[in-house]
C-alpha cells in the first residue's frame, strides 16, 4: 500500500458532562484525528487521544501535532507499507510519544484492513463478535449525584461500574455506594493519587468486594505496586504504569498487579497492544480495554482490539451518547445491556462523518 496523503485535524469537542479524576476535570476535549490515504484514495483513520494539558501522561495535543508533523509523518508519507506492524521499526528511533505514534499507526491499520476488505478486528486476530462494556464515572462533589449516576448506568445494563477516587473521597464514598448497591460489579480508579504511606486506607478497601483497584500509586511505578499487592487482597490493575510490552513483562514478573488495563494509545499502538495481549494470555493475566474519553474513531479501534480473546473483563468503551451530543461516526456506538456488537464492515467498521469532523475542526493540515 502506497501512502499518498496524510491529513491532520485538530478537533475540539465539548463533552455532555465534565469528568473529574484525582488529577483534574475535563470537559472540552482537544485532540487530533489522523487520516491516511492510499493510491486509490481509500482513507484510514486514527485518533490521538491527547488532552490539552499533560495531566494523565506527558504528551499533550499541541506537542503531539508537532511530533506527527516533524517526525512521524515524514517516516510514512510517500512510502510503501506491506503491513502496519512495520511502523514500530520506522518510529523506533524516536523516544516515547506513544499517543502520537499510536494515532498514525491506527490510521494505517484501518487503511490496511479496508484495503484487504477485512474488519479491523479480523486483521488484529480478534475472535469475539460481541464485547462486554463497563462505564467509568468521575468524582462528584455530592454523593447523591454519584449514587444517581451509578443507578442510571446500572439500569442501562453496563457490566461493571468504575468510580474514580482520591484521598478523602474513597472509603467514605465506597461505604455509601455499597450501602445502596451491595452486589454490583464495582471497581475504583485512583489515577496514582496514593503512596505506600496510605496502605492502611488502601487495605480498608478490601472490605468492599471490589473487582480491582486501578493504579493506586505513582504513574510508571512497578516496585511499590508489587509491595502493595502483597498487602492487599483486592487485585491491583495497572494503567499509568504500562507503556510497553517490556513494562507488562516486568509487572507480571514481579507481581505489580493481577490485571492490566490496556490503552492502545498509552502503549504506542495496536501492534504493541497485540504483543501485550499475547503475553497476558500466556501468563493468565486478565485484561480489559481502557478509555480516554475518545470520539467514535478511537472508540472503534478500542472495540476492535477488545475482540481479542484475552480481553476477558468489561472495558470502558461506553456508548457515544455517554460522552457526546453528536459523535463523528455513523452509526454511533450504542451499548445495549452492557454489550456491543463488533462491526462487520471493513476497517474500523463505522463511517467517519466528515461534515461533523470539519464542524469540530479548529486547524487542519494536508501532507502530500
Give the residue numbers annotated as catalytic, written as ranges: 164, 263
Q: Which is nearer to Mg ion, 85 or 214 (CB)?
A: 214
Q: Is 214 annotated as a binding residue?
A: yes
Torsion sign (Cα): 1, 358, 340, 263: positive
Q: Is 140 annotated as a binding residue?
A: no
Sequence-ordered list of residues with C-beta below 8 angstroms from that of 196, at least 6 positions apart, any chain: 217, 224, 227, 228
The DSSP code sequence of 129-150 is: SEEEB-EEE---SSHHHHHHHH
Per-residue cell: 170: 474513597
Examine residue 221 and tell whether it contacts Mg ion (CB under 5 A). no
CB of 316 vs ligand 164, minimal distance in Å: 4
Q: Which is nearer to ligand 164, 252 or 264 (CB)?
A: 264
Instruction: Name the segment binding Mg ion (CB under 5 A); options: 145-153, 182-190, 224-232, 272-280.
Output: 182-190
CB of 9 vs ligand 164, minimal distance in Å: 20
For the window 188-207, what string marks contact with Mg ion as x by the rule CB under 5 A? -x------------------
Per-residue cell: 334: 450504542
CB of 126 vs ligand 164, minimal distance in Å: 20
- The entry of ligand 164, Mg ion, none that residue 291 binds, CB within 5 to 8 Å by partner kind: ligand 164
Question: How many CB atoms are closer than 10 A to CB 30?
Answer: 17
Q: Which is nearer to ligand 164, 214 or 272 (CB)?
A: 214
Q: Is 189 annotated as a binding residue?
A: yes
- Output 86-92 pairs: Cβ under 8 A, ≥24 positions apart: 87/269, 87/271, 88/268, 88/269, 88/271, 88/272, 91/268
* Dihedral-angle region of residue 2 (phi above 0 means left; psi in -120 to 50 means alpha; beta otherwise): beta
CB of 110 vs ligand 164, minimal distance in Å: 19
Nearest to 43 by CA among 365, 363, 359, 353: 353
Q: Which residues bind ligand 164 (CB under 6 A)?
A: 21, 56, 136, 189, 191, 239, 290-293, 316, 318
For the window 228-247, what string marks contact with Mg ion as x by the rule CB under 5 A? -----------x--------
CA distance 261 to 211: 13
Q: List, as residue ranges, the binding site.
A: 189, 214, 239
Q: List, as residue ranges, the binding site for Mg(2+).
A: 189, 214, 239
Amino acid at each position: 500500500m502506497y501512502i499518498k496523503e496524510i491529513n491532520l485535524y485538530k478537533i475540539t469537542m465539548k463533552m455532555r458532562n465534565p469528568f473529574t479524576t484525582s488529577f483534574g476535570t475535563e470537559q472540552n476535549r482537544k485532540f487530533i484525528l489522523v487520516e491516511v490515504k492510499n493510491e486509490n484514495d481509500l482513507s484510514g483513520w486514527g485518533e490521538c487521544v491527547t488532552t490539552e494539558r499533560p495531566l494523565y501522561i506527558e504528551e499533550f495535543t499541541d506537542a503531539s501535532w508537532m511530533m506527527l508533523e516533524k517526525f512521524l509523518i515524514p517516516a510514512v508519507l510517500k512510502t510503501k507499507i506491506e503491513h502496519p506492524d512495520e511502523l514500530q521499526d520506522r518510529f523506533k528511533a524516536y523516544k516515547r510519544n506513544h499517543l502520537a505514534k499510536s494515532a498514525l499507526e491506527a490510521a494505517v491499520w484501518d487503511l490496511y484492513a479496508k484495503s484487504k476488505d477485512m474488519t479491523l478486528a479480523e486483521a488484529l486476530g480478534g475472535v469475539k463478535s460481541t464485547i462486554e462494556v463497563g462505564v467509568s464515572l468521575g468524582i462528584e462533589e455530592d454523593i447523591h449525584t454519584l449514587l444517581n449516576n451509578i443507578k442510571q448506568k446500572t439500569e442501562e445494563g453496563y457490566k461493571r461500574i468504575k468510580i474514580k477516587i482520591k484521598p478523602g473521597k474513597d472509603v467514605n464514598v465506597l461505604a455509601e455506594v455499597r450501602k445502596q448497591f451491595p452486589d454490583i460489579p464495582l471497581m475504583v480508579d485512583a489515577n496514582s493519587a496514593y503512596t505506600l504511606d496510605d496502605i492502611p486506607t488502601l487495605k480498608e478497601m478490601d472490605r468492599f468486594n471490589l473487582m480491582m483497584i486501578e493504579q493506586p500509586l505513582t504513574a510508571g511505578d512497578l516496585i511499590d505496586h508489587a509491595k502493595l499487592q502483597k498487602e492487599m487482597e483486592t487485585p491491583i490493575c495497572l494503567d499509568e504504569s504500562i507503556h510497553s510490552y517490556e513494562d507488562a513483562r516486568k509487572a507480571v514478573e514481579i507481581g505489580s498487579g493481577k490485571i492490566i488495563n490496556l490503552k492502545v494509545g498509552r502503549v504506542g499502538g495496536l501492534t504493541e497492544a497485540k504483543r501485550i495481549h499475547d503475553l497476558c494470555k500466556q501468563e493468565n493475566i486478565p485484561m480489559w480495554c481502557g478509555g480516554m474519553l475518545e470520539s467514535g474513531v478511537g472508540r472503534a479501534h478500542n472495540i476492535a482490539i477488545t475482540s481479542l480473546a484475552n480481553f476477558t473483563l468489561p472495558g470502558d468503551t461506553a456508548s457515544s451518547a455517554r460522552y457526546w451530543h453528536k459523535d463523528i461516526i455513523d452509526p454511533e456506538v450504542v451499548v445495549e445491556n452492557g454489550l456491543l456488537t463488533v462491526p462487520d464492515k471493513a476497517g474500523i467498521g463505522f463511517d467517519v462523518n466528515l461534515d461533523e469532523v470539519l464542524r469540530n475542526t479548529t486547524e487542519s493540515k494536508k501532507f502530500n
